[in-house]
Structure 1
Amino acid sequence: MQLEGWVTAETVRRWLEESDRVLVAAGAGLSAAAGYDYGDAERFRELLPGLHRLGLRSRYLFGTPLPKDMMWGYWAVHIDDIRHSPGPNPLYRRLRTLVGERDHWVVTSNVDALFARSGFAADRVFTPQGDYGRLQCTVPCTPETWPSKPFLDRILAVYDRETGRVTDPRALPRCPNCGADVFPNVRVGPEFVDRDYLPTGRRLVRWLDDAPTDSTLLVLELGAGFNTPGVIRLPMEDVVRRTPRARLVRINPLHPDVPADLGERALSVPLGADRFLDRLER
């Protein structure tokens, strides 16, 4: 169902009050609302002026034919900004306050660790798409991954932001095990190393399956569209379908539609996460 204005806010507040368990499910739209919009051309220009002068305008550079030194300059600046920036994010902190003391979990396609950095318990945040905080071998020769920050710090020390190039090729990262190329530990193909994330995913499944029969679950989905619908959007619909006392609130300014078969157990909110929280807090 889709309601308007204060009625929507009142419904969400009531559903929260009636729920003893909350599953927060988030896509890229949540981080965009929190200030990390990959399509923000002005922010791209500020961070990466050398690449901007080449005509690039978006942080979505997968498949862009850049030389290795420029690509690693991009990765170092991008990941340092979104993953290693200090302190919690205000929007994520507001979301944490909204959840309160209810028993909760998080599942997110975002790889920026903003949930864990903003007050959510890291061992209850499932990130099936990986984490910018780790690097992996591209072969991969090993299921081991490595913290990205030491590698990126070496790159940034010799990065020329005006040209977009890494000036010392010795700073370009290699696999410590076999010497092959490395890549951020995020899901882009079958070589993705997911070993570190699977135990958390299994614990989330147990939390869902072992719920008391009289408990009420609220799935609070924010900013999950159709870039990777099989990661957040469609699984959340299935969770609600197979959980009798579950409800879905879908917050999305462009794709807020909810499945008709969920009936009155699903609420469509055509807003960004920031405006949604503004309305709830009035």
Structure 2
Amino acid sequence: MHDLKPIAEKIREADAILIGASNGLSITEGLHLFADNAAFDKLFGDFKRKYGLGCLLQGMAAHWPSEEEKWAFWARLIHHYCGQYQPTPVMKDLKAIVGEKDYFVITSNGEGHFELCGFDPSKIYEIEGNWLTMQCARPCHDTRYPSLEVAQKISAAEQGGRVPTELVPRCPKCGGPMDIHMGAGQRMIPDTAAQAQFQNFLKTYHGKKLVVLELGIGWRNQLIKAPMMRLVAREPNANYVTINLGEIYIADNIKEKSFGLDGRLDELLPALRSACERIEQQDLC
């Protein structure tokens, strides 16, 4: 059994919380990009049989025979995981843990669930793009456009794994094809605004009490985990909390200011929320 009181105390004392999230959080919410499971079969069984897709990620990276088929896949994906999404208990627990504190979210997840759960979009950096925006596939310019309503409309019109040609999104400037922001690969337009907001957050809390709360990130992750550990190492008043199932890695140079929780997010986050609430009640007494 983990003793969560010391972590809850660090959160109570913190000036701000930096949340890092990757696949482990998505999987907890029932969205598994890498799995050929019952959920994938139910949603994309026809694509699996026709194209040999083995998981969602393969569909996201596929070279589709036509724009009509590409958008049938993406529209169905976005309609199901974004349009029909309801905030999950694990995300509600996370919001409660953050409470009224300032925060920033950096994530390699692209399904937009932080924003859909009410986290401030100006405090989220989706480092590998997201499903809720689209861009010119070339790209001829760097504007990103909302995709959710478009995907909902296309999904309703899809038949037999294709969408009507007249509904295929086209670039408003060059008339060429569009890509979902996260599906643009090497041509993905960087989110410079979010990058700047993240740097501003780090500048604001430099030297202050910062809790880095890392959710479902494996030890190989060089996009989020490695930079976060380096941040904790150079920030004298930062503490590092990593929660992951079956694999906890903490660099030696930050071990004395770190906590590693090996377990399920949907069990540990509600427990951590309760520990935070108990400390809050003690403060009020």
2:224 match: 232
Of 4, 8, 13, 2:8 maps to 13
Say whether 1:203 aligns with 2:197.
Answer: yes
Please report how far the alpha carbon of residue 243 of structure 1 lies from its aligned counterpart in structure 2 after TM superposition: 0.4
Of stretches 9-18 and 243-252 in structure 1, the one that deviates more from structure 2 is: 9-18
2:258 match: 266
Say if 1:41 and 1:57, in contact at 8 Å, map to a contact too: no
Please report how far the alpha carbon of residue 98 of structure 1 lies from its aligned counterpart in structure 2 after TM superposition: 0.9
| Secondary structure of residue in 1 paired with 2:148 | helix
Alignment of 1:214-233 (within 5 A): 215-225=208-218, 229-233=221-225
Please report how far the alpha carbon of residue 260 of structure 1 lies from its aligned counterpart in structure 2 after TM superposition: 1.0
Distance 1:187 1:245, change over 3 A: farther
Please report how far the alpha carbon of residue 230 of structure 1 lies from its aligned counterpart in structure 2 after TM superposition: 2.9
| Secondary structure of residue in 1 paired with 2:181 | strand
| Secondary structure of residue in 1 paired with 2:140 | coil
Of stretches 119-128 and 20-29 in structure 1, the one that deviates more from structure 2 is: 119-128
Distance 1:135 1:254 in 2: 35
Distance 1:136 1:65, change over 3 A: closer
Of 151, 175, 178, 1:179 maps to 175
Please report how far the alpha carbon of residue 24 of structure 1 lies from its aligned counterpart in structure 2 after TM superposition: 1.0
Say whether 1:165 aligns with 2:175.
Answer: no
Say if 2:93 and 2:270, in contact at 8 Å, map to a contact too: no
1:105 match: 104
1:243 match: 235
- Tell me, which stretches of 5 or more residues in structure 1 are unaligned? none
Distance 1:43 1:212, change over 3 A: closer
Distance 1:63 1:207 in 2: 32
Q: So what's the TM-score if we normalise by structure 2?
A: 0.85
1:34 match: 29
The amino acid that maps onto 2:202 is L
Alignment of 1:36-185 (within 5 A): 36-38=31-33, 39=35, 41-54=37-50, 55-61=52-58, 62-68=60-66, 69-160=68-159, 163-166=160-163, 168-185=164-181
Distance 1:177 1:123 in 2: 26
- Tell me, which stretches of 5 or more residues in structure 2 are unaligned? 276-285
Runs of 4+ in 1 over 4 A off after TM superposition: none
The amino acid that maps onto 2:195 is G
Please report how far the alpha carbon of residue 30 of structure 1 lies from its aligned counterpart in structure 2 after TM superposition: 0.8
Distance 1:226 1:65 in 2: 30
Measured on the aligned residues, the alpha-carbon RMSD in Å equals: 2.2
CA offsets per residue over residues 128-176 of structure 1, 9 Å max, x none?
222211111111011112211343234223312xx4333x233222222
Of stretches 89-98 and 202-211 in structure 1, the one that deviates more from structure 2 is: 202-211
Distance 1:142 1:65 in 2: 22
| Secondary structure of residue in 2 paired with 1:190 | helix
Distance 1:150 1:117, change over 3 A: closer
| Percent of matched pairs sharing the same residue | 27
For these two proteins, the number of residue pairs brought into alignment is 270
Distance 1:263 1:226, change over 3 A: closer
Q: So what's the TM-score if we normalise by structure 1?
A: 0.86
Say if 1:49 and 1:164, in contact at 8 Å, map to a contact too: no
